[in-house]
Amino acid sequence: RFDIAAARSRMNCWRMLLLIAAAISATASSDADSRSCTAAANDADCQGDETEEEDVSSPFAFMKAFSKLGSSWSHIVSEYVSVIGAVDGYALKTDIRAANEEEALGALRSLVADVASTQEKKLAWSLRTSPLQDFGKSIDDIFLAFLRWSAVDDHSFNDDDESCSLLGSVNHRAAFLTGDREINVSKAFRRLESYINWMQSVEEFISDPPVTFESILPSLDIFSINVAHDRCGRLVWYVNLGQTDLRAFMDQQPRETIRMFVWVAHMLFLDEGAQTRGLVVIDDMDYISFYKYMTMLPIQVGLSVDRFLLSVTPVKTKNVVLMHRAPWARTAYSLLSWFLTKKMKKRVTMIDTGQEVELLNQIVGGPDYIPRDFGSGAGRIESDLIATDHRDGET
């Protein structure tokens, strides 16, 4: 089990070391970084607002920049440590376990019935704000997603899986000491309870009107994303900031962005490939500047969405891929990586300029699994799952 309290204690120690190291490195390297970016003004890493990137390219400047956004580096780190600590959940010796999905589903229904004893809780646990109709799913399908999430072995990297040679591999079922009883119903229930609580926290945004594909379509048209399966059957979520209308995205109300991410998250975790094989996230950052990236959403809204996607939804992410990173993004990862577990670090892939075709092929299996207008443009997918399952039905 990941100990959040211990992680926060380590964070305080590391923060002091990082601040000292950053102050030294910033003094020594800021002039060199500036000369480097000026001399290579046409280099891909220096695209975008050069002054902004110079301001936040050193660790010290990066951490200090959050004060201009009404927050602080220490607050951001503490929030992400909390999120990271809940990514995989935890198991207890006293947890209820089941041998198969039918038995597990019955046990989970019983746990939900016990907790939804009052009228207020019964309403919350009715999942009335979950966008099930768009996906042809039921409450049991949501329960099943959480049960499948709980059955994945969190301690296996699966890199030698013969069924999938792609980077990140696929989900493995857990082998518990209790024999064949491999589905941890209690763990699934704890995650489901987090989901219920988070959905309640944004209820005012997602209940009236209900979240539907039609209602979030304007946001989807602004924010460029694609969803497809790769060669191993994993679900791949492509985020393309280069094709995103950033001005329109920042101008829309945070309420609309939250509604879009709620719909997208349900599409992801209700997908059978994501549940049984895993999820891959590929983000083409298009060298976006620090301030543009950080102001796409109010910081607290962004943190809330991150928490929902990373530590509330029942999906196991096998690989997070970042490509076309600006200097600040490299700095951000180098600092935040101090707080990532060994397993999490193995699940992050950085793609530098010139590596796009080779590494994307190793990650998803070739151009047949890449959207046509993503990255280097070598992909062959004309219509992704959003288009085939939802857009084509629109009039």
Does residue 106 surpass a pLDDT of 90?
yes
E strand or H helix at 92, and its extent?
Answer: none
Tokens describing residue 76: 């951001």
Does residue 237 surpass a pLDDT of 80?
yes
pTM, 2 dp: 0.82
What lies within 8 Å, CB to CB, of 282 at 6+ separation is: 236, 237, 238, 239, 321, 323, 360, 363, 364, 374
CB-neighbour burial class of residue 272 (10 A; exposed 0-12, middle 13-18, buried 19+):
middle
Adjacent-strand bridge partners of 280: 236, 319
pLDDT band at 44 (very low <50, low <70, confident <90, very high): very low
What's the confidence (pLDDT) of residue 395?
42
Tell me what the mean pLDDT of segment 21-33 comes to. 36
Tell me what the mean pLDDT of segment 344-356 comes to. 88
What lies within 8 Å, CB to CB, of 164 at 6+ separation is: 170, 231, 232, 234, 277
Find the largest Cα–Cα distance for the chain.
67
What would the pLDDT profile of 286-336 be if each residue is shown by its tens digit?
Answer: 999 888 888 888 878 888 898 899 889 999 999 999 999 998 888 888 888
Adjacent-strand bridge partners of 320: 281, 348
3-state secondary structure of 23: helix
pLDDT band at 54 (very low <50, low <70, confident <90, very high): very low
What would the pLDDT profile of 200-230 be if each residue is shown by its tens digit?
Answer: 999 999 999 999 999 999 999 999 999 999 9
What's the confidence (pLDDT) of residue 232?
94
Tokens describing residue 316: 């196991």
- The more confidently predicted of residues 158 and 131 is 131
By the 8 A CB rule, do 360 and 371 touch?
no
DSSP string for 338-351: GGS-HHHHHTEEEE
Cα distances (angstroms) measured from residue 361 to each of 162, 167, 370: 18, 10, 9
What's the confidence (pLDDT) of residue 299?
78
What's the confidence (pLDDT) of residue 318?
92
Does residue 40 surpass a pLDDT of 80?
no
Distance CA(118)–CA(80), nearest Å, equals: 34
DSSP string for 162-185: TT--STT----B---TTTT--EEH
What's the confidence (pLDDT) of residue 259?
96
Does residue 68 surpass a pLDDT of 90?
no
- CB-side exposure of 234: number of CA atoms within 13 Å? 30
* Percentage of the chain modeled with pLDDT above 70: 81
> What does pLDDT average to over the chain?
81
First-to-final CA distance of the chain: 49
pLDDT band at 157 (very low <50, low <70, confident <90, very high): low
